Chains A and B, each alone.
Chain A
Amino acid sequence: MNVVIQLERVTRTYALGATTVQALRGVSLQIRSGEFVAILGASGSGKSTLMNLIGCLDRPTAGHYFLDGVDVAKLDHDQLADIRNEKIGFVFQSFNLLTRTSALQNVELPALYSSSRISASLRRNRAREALELVGLAGRAHHHPNQLSGGEQQRVAIARAIANQPSVLLADEPTGNLDSRTSAEIMTVFQSLNQRGITIVMVTHELDIARFAKRNVFMRDGLVRKDELVAAPLDSRAELARWNQAEQTEPQLVLTP
């Protein structure tokens, strides 16, 4: 499998007044096509900074970052925007959908900003397909405020994959969701991953990370541990277990 993301001794320092903060102190990381990686770490470990770098929202202070073989550090604002548009799909903790805009229009957004002219009909079709993939075909014309949290996150995932990116980047995708909905989102991720989409997910929840195939642990701006998950959890099996538990639970509640 070819390498999609290649980080070489990447550092990132922020100037905070007189002091400088070293968020990343030389991270080297290689992610191949088709992987499902969870990046774990406490807040302040540098995982969000790493995420922004991988997402081409930011550039490294030193070191190299190759995305699909292209050195991102040398690119200007517009080129970075094009890379974000074509090669990266973002999923955020707070969904970040445009309010008062239908699910379908939200998913159409990446095609709207594509540098290659995409016709309106093709744009619409792609958006519909993406919504179908996340199981929301019937909710295309709902607005975010008419959707549940899990549904909103699925719209966000559909938007992230609408332009068929090389990498799906998820920043705490289940942070605002309950455990059951989190498992549902993981189902979506795992099925997309089976279709060959590379997924990099930042989380601080260990049980969410166990759905991924590989876990990268960050601390103090460095990668401390990088291991393959021996037996990733199957989200479908987990959901089935949840359902069973729910069926028995009410009886437990009713009997004093």
Chain B
Amino acid sequence: MTALNASRIALHALGRNKLRSALTALGIIIGVGSLIALLAIGHGARAEVEKQVASLGENVIQVSAGSITKSAAKLGLGSSGALTVEDAEALKEEIPDAIAVSPEVKIKTQVVAGNRNWSTEIYGNSPEYFRIRQWATSAGEIFTEQDVRGATKVAVIGQMAADQLFDEDEDPIGELIRIRGVPFKVVGVLAVKGASASGSDQDDSIIIPHTTAIRHLIGKQTGLRRIYVQAASLDVLPTVEKKVGELLRQRHHIETGSDDDFKVRSQLEIAESATATARTMTVLLSLIAGVSLVVGGIGIMNIMLVSVTERTREIGIRMAIGAHRRDIMRQFLIEAVTLSALGGVIGIACGTGAAKMLATLAQWPTLISPDAVLIAFVFSAVVGIFFGYYPARKASRLDPIEALRYE
């Protein structure tokens, strides 16, 4: 018997019990639907995190100052003051693949513009910072290398800071702001960047030359908070990361075996740790959905067993007429797989709809990947084969004489 004819017989049998078929498929529909929806939520969350990590820049390595222990209290990263501007310059000079380096200092302080004031983060960086972080201005310009050399009092402000310090109809470019009483000229406003991987609002910041920050706001004794390094490409990122570590250990006279007074993390590692949660969530959610899919499969098995018993006589007739065992087996397997695959297709549609609805109603980021759809479909078909096999085998092993006598 050809596969086409077997399918026709199977579909005919399913059509005879429409309500039962629909209810059986419902188990799979719910399983696949929730699988698709939950995967969409998981993937959406992950994509969101990846976007935040990407906002860090391209092929970025962060070198943070290490922690120090003061009176038995371990202070946080950046407290050691071990990183210096000279370290940053050395990195730039001695590692050819480090194409951009920016030292960074940071203070949080009150900023005044006219009769408004706002507490925000002040970062001291080099102009390369904007390149590393791929952060362009929406108005005006960024400060220059010359501003760094001359420690000019110029500032590039984030959109959030601009909104708080200036009226909507006011052009901040060329205006003066006072940071700790020191007047700065605003030369640029940064484009909106959103939240960072750690969740802070990157637009609520003001960036000034690091030399100016050290000379006028912080003082020389305070070390750098971190150094940003950009590798030439993704391929050399790990080597550059390694070289940065080696060079700094050498410069800080740290012997092998002792603790570093700094910490090097590449964008890859940051991405890794940031997406780990999203990934765990996705796995857990799909496990739950998988369980419901298995329950749906058991429903198929149950109905197929009932169906085999009900149709014992039909099976006997078919065998008497010359059906092989595999013909009977195939007929019932196709029925089971049709139920599950049909449930899978409808489930994919329902799951996609649910994900879309969550995205619109609850503002959750959802992402339906073709992979997830394919996996869900294949999985549902496999469930059909797996749970349809036993009933189909049972049908094919019936004794035709007994089956024909069955009332």
Q: Interface on A for B, CB 8 Å cutoff?
A: 52, 55, 57-58, 77-78, 81-82, 84-86, 90, 92, 96-98, 100-101, 109-110, 112-114, 117, 159, 163
Contacts and interface: CB of A to CB of B under 8 A. Distances in A.
Contacts of A117: 2
Interface of B: 1-2, 5, 12, 16, 313-314, 316-327, 400-401, 404
Contacts of B314: 98
Contact of B321 (A52, A101, A113): A113
Contacts of B1: 112-113
Contacts of B2: 117
Contacts of A163: 322
A57 B401 contact: yes
B329 to A, nearest CB: 12
Contacts of B5: 112
Contacts of A78: 324-326
A58 B316 CA distance: 13
A100 B16 contact: yes
A77 B16 contact: no
B319 A81 contact: yes
Contacts of A82: 322, 324
B320 A84 contact: yes
Contacts of A55: 320
Given A57-B400, A82-B322, 20 more contacts: A52-B401, A57-B319, A57-B404, A78-B324, A81-B319, A81-B322, A81-B325, A84-B320, A84-B322, A86-B322, A90-B320, A96-B313, A96-B317, A101-B12, A109-B318, A109-B321, A112-B1, A113-B322, A117-B2, A163-B322
Contacts, number: 57
Contacts of B321: 84-85, 90, 109-110, 113, 159
A186 B317 CA distance: 23
Given A92-B404, A100-B16, A113 B318 contact: yes
A77 B322 contact: no
B313 A110 contact: no
Contacts of A85: 321-322
Contacts of A84: 319-322
B231 to A, nearest CB: 65
A84 B318 CA distance: 10
Contacts of A77: 324-325
16 contacts: A55-B320, A57-B320, A77-B324, A78-B325, A81-B322, A81-B323, A81-B325, A82-B322, A85-B322, A100-B16, A101-B12, A112-B1, A112-B5, A113-B321, A113-B324, A163-B322
Contacts of B401: 52, 57-58
A86 B322 CA distance: 8
A29 B100 CA distance: 102
A58 B313 CA distance: 17
A92 B319 CA distance: 14
A183 B2 CA distance: 39
A95 B316 CA distance: 13
A65 to B, nearest CB: 16
A164 to B, nearest CB: 13
Residue with the highest number of chain B CB atoms closer than 10 Å, among A90, A97, A112? A112
B400 A114 contact: no
A77 B5 CA distance: 21
A85 to B, nearest CB: 2
Nearest to B400: A57
A76 to B, nearest CB: 10
Nearest to A51: B401
Contacts of B313: 96
Nearest to A92: B404
Contact of A81 (B12, B316, B324): B324
A96 B400 CA distance: 13
A63 to B, nearest CB: 18
A101 B321 CA distance: 15
**A-B complex: 9 closest residue pairs judged by Cβ atoms:** A85-B322, A113-B322, A84-B322, A113-B323, A81-B324, A96-B317, A57-B400, A90-B320, A78-B324
Contacts of B400: 57
Contact of B327 (A92, A97, A101, A113): A113
Contacts of B326: 78
Contacts of B327: 113
A74 to B, nearest CB: 18
A159 B5 CA distance: 18
B99 to A, nearest CB: 70
A30 B407 CA distance: 33
Nearest to A87: B322
A90 B322 CA distance: 10
Contacts of A92: 404
Contacts of A81: 319, 322-325
B193 to A, nearest CB: 66
B352 to A, nearest CB: 36
